[in-house]
Structure 1
Amino acid sequence: MNIAVLSGKGGTGKTTVSTNLALALKANYIDCDVEEPNGFLFLKPKVYKTEKVMVEYPIIDDNKCTNCGQCVSVCQFNSLAKVKDDIMLFQKLCHGCGACEIACKYNAITYGKRAIGEIEKGIVRDINCNRGILNISEPMAVPVIGELLKDLSGKDEINLIDCPPGTSCNVVNALKYAHGAILVTEPSEFGLHDLKMAVELVKMYNIPFGIVINKDDGKDNTVKKYCREEKISLIGTIPYSKDTAVLYSKGEILYDYLIHKRVFDVISKEVKEVLSWN
C-alpha cells in the first residue's frame, strides 16, 4: 500500500509525520520532496546505491539544419527559438517529447541525455529509504519524482511517500501512485486555507484520506471544526511542545522518545482504520 503524506503548504510538519510514521508502521520511506529532501537528516540511513536521473534533449546538426524554424513552431515548451540564422536551444525547458525530431524534414535533430538529479537508496532499522535529489538550478522535478516512484506499482509493502509541499504538478505526480493519503496541517488560518486546496486535490483521485494536526493547541480550533463540518477523518494530533521543537532542531527522531512514540503509535493505528487497511 502506498500512502502519500502531503500538505497544502510548507512547514506544517509533513516530513516529521512521514519519517516517524515510517518507523511506527515499519514502512519504506520515499522522499519525493526532491528540491529540498530532508528526511534522511532524521532517519540517517546508510546509503548503498546512487543512480543518476537522465533526461533527453535535442542536438541540432548545423550541417543539416536549414534554419527553417519548423522545430520551433512545434515546440510547446518554448525550448527552441529561431534567432537570425540560428536555432537556439534552452535545454532546461525541454521536456524531451520528441516533437521537434519528428517535425524536422532534414533529419538534423537527434537526442542526447543529460543528468538532472540522482536517486539515493539506503536502509535503516530494517526499512528501505529512498530519496530523489534535483540538481541545483534545474527547474523540473517531475522526471526525478517519476524515476523515484516508477517501481512502486504492484508491491505488497507499505510505502510512505513524503510528497513535495503545496499542490503543484510535483505533488500531483507523486499522488497518482498513492492508495491513500495523510494531510498534515497546523491549527492556523493559513494552515486551514492551504489544507482546503490539498483536500480538493486528494478528492480528485478518489482515495481515502485523513488529517493530522501538527503543533496542536489542544483547543477546538478551526481545523477540527472544519473536519467535523466536512465529515473528514481526523487521524490524530501532535501536541505543540517546546521539547518537540528542540529535538527536531537537533535532527533527532521523535519516535525514539517514549512520549512521542505513544503519539505516533496512536496515529499509525488510526491510519490503518481510516485508509481501509487490507
Structure 2
Amino acid sequence: MKITVASGKGGTGKTTVAVNFFLSVPKTSFLDCDVEEPNSNLFLHNELEKVKEVTIPVPVIDEQKCDHCGKCADFCNYNALAALPQKVMVFPDLCHGCGGCSLVCPHDAISETGRNIGDIERSLSGQFYTGILNIGEAMASPLIKELKACAGENTVIMDAPPGTACPMITTVEDTDYCILVTEPTPFGLNDLKLAAEVVREMRIPAGVIINRAGVGYGGVEEYCQQTGLPVIMKIPYDRRIAEAYSEGIPFVETMPQWKEKFLQMFETIKEGVR
C-alpha cells in the first residue's frame, strides 16, 4: 500500500505527521518526496548514502548537420532553443527533457545528453529514501518519479511537497490513499479545499488530519462534514509536541501512546482503501 501525506500549504505539520506515522507502523518504508526542501531526516537521524544521480535529457546540436531551419525552436514551448541565422543556442536550464526537438529535426542534427537535476539518497537500513533537488533547479517532478521507483513491496509512506502544483500531483498519483494535513484556521481551510479538490479529481481516497486542533476555529470540521471528507485524526495544540518538534524528536518517542493512535488510523485507512 502506498500512502501519501500532503497539504495544501506549508507549515501545517505534514512532515511531522509523516515521520510519526512511519515510526508507528511496522514494516514500512518512507520516501521524502519534498525534494526542494527535504527535512524528514532531521527527525529520523539516518546515516545516508547516495544511490543515484537523476538526470533529464537535454539537446546537443550537431552544427555540421544543422541548417538552422528553426523547427526545433518553434516546437519548444519552454524557449530552451533559439535558432539564429548561423547557430542554434541551447538553454539547458529551461529544457523539460521531452525530446520533441530531436523528433522534428529534419536532418537528425540533435542528439541528447543527460543533465543532472539532483540525487537520491537512502538510509543504510534501506527503509528511508530522500530526493535532493539541485539548488536553483525547477524540474522537481522527474526526480520525484525516480524516487517513487525506489518504493519496495512493504507499506510505503510518502511525504509530498506542499501545495497543489506538479510536484505534489506527481507524488500523489498512483497512490492508494492520501492524508491531507491541515490546521484549524481560515488559511488552513482555504488550502485544504484546494488540495481536496485535486485529490478528488484524481479519484484517490483521502482523509484529513487536523493538526494543532483546539485553537477555536471550526470551519475545517464543518467543511469536512459537508463534503463527506473523513477526519481520521486530530493532533491537539500541545506544548509537549511543540517542544519535541523544536528538539528534532518525533513526538511518538516522547509520548508513546500516540503510536497506538497512528496504528488505529492505519487500520482506518486500510478500511477506506478496500
The alignment's TM-score, normalised by the length of structure 2, stands at 0.93
Which of 254, 262, 268 aligns to 1:267? It is 262
Query: After TM superposition, where is structure 1 displaced by more than 6 Å over at least 4 residues in a row?
Result: none
Residue of structure 2 equivalent to 1:171: 168
Residue of structure 2 equivalent to 1:105: 106
Say if 1:61 and 1:209 are closer, same or farther in 2 by CA, change over 3 A: same
Tell me, in whole angstroms, the C-alpha distance in 1 between the residues paired with 2:72 and 2:17. Answer: 47
Identity of aligned residues (%): 39
Which amino acid in 2 is paired with 1:222? G
Cα deviation, residue 218, structure 1: 6.2
The 3-state SS of whatever aligns with 1:117 is strand
Residue of structure 1 equivalent to 2:177: 180
Which of 242, 245, 268 aligns to 1:245? It is 242
Q: Give the conservation status (yes or no) of the 8 Å contact 1:42–1:251.
A: yes
Say if 1:24 and 1:147 are closer, same or farther in 2 by CA, change over 3 A: same
Q: Give the conservation status (yes or no) of the 8 Å contact 1:233–1:274.
A: no
Note the residue ranges of structure 2 that are not aligned, 5 or more in a row: none
The 3-state SS of whatever aligns with 2:199 is helix
Residue of structure 1 equivalent to 2:91: 90
Residue of structure 2 equivalent to 1:63: 64
Q: Give the conservation status (yes or no) of the 8 Å contact 1:58–1:112.
A: yes
Tell me, in whole angstroms, the C-alpha distance in 2 between the residues paired with 1:37 and 1:244. Answer: 21
Cα deviation, residue 222, structure 1: 1.5
The 3-state SS of whatever aligns with 1:227 is helix
RMSD: 1.8
Tell me, in whole angstroms, the C-alpha distance in 2 between the residues paired with 1:151 and 1:253. Answer: 24
Residue of structure 2 equivalent to 1:143: 142
The alignment's TM-score, normalised by the length of structure 1, stands at 0.92
Q: Give the conservation status (yes or no) of the 8 Å contact 1:72–1:81.
A: yes
Cα deviation, residue 151, structure 1: 4.3
Tell me, in whole angstroms, the C-alpha distance in 2 between the residues paired with 1:104 and 1:220. Answer: 59
Say if 1:123 and 1:266 are closer, same or farther in 2 by CA, change over 3 A: farther
Cα deviation, residue 116, structure 1: 0.8
Q: Give the conservation status (yes or no) of the 8 Å contact 1:235–1:267.
A: no
Note the residue ranges of structure 1 that are not aligned, 5 or more in a row: none
Tell me, in whole angstroms, the C-alpha distance in 2 between the residues paired with 1:186 and 1:263. Answer: 19
Tell me, in whole angstroms, the C-alpha distance in 1 between the residues paired with 2:80 and 2:56. Answer: 14
Query: 1:107-158 CA deviation, whole Å, 9 max, x = no partner?
Result: 221111121100001156xx70001000001111011001001244xx5411
Which amino acid in 2 is paired with 1:25? V
Cα deviation, residue 48, structure 1: 3.8
Paired residues, number: 272
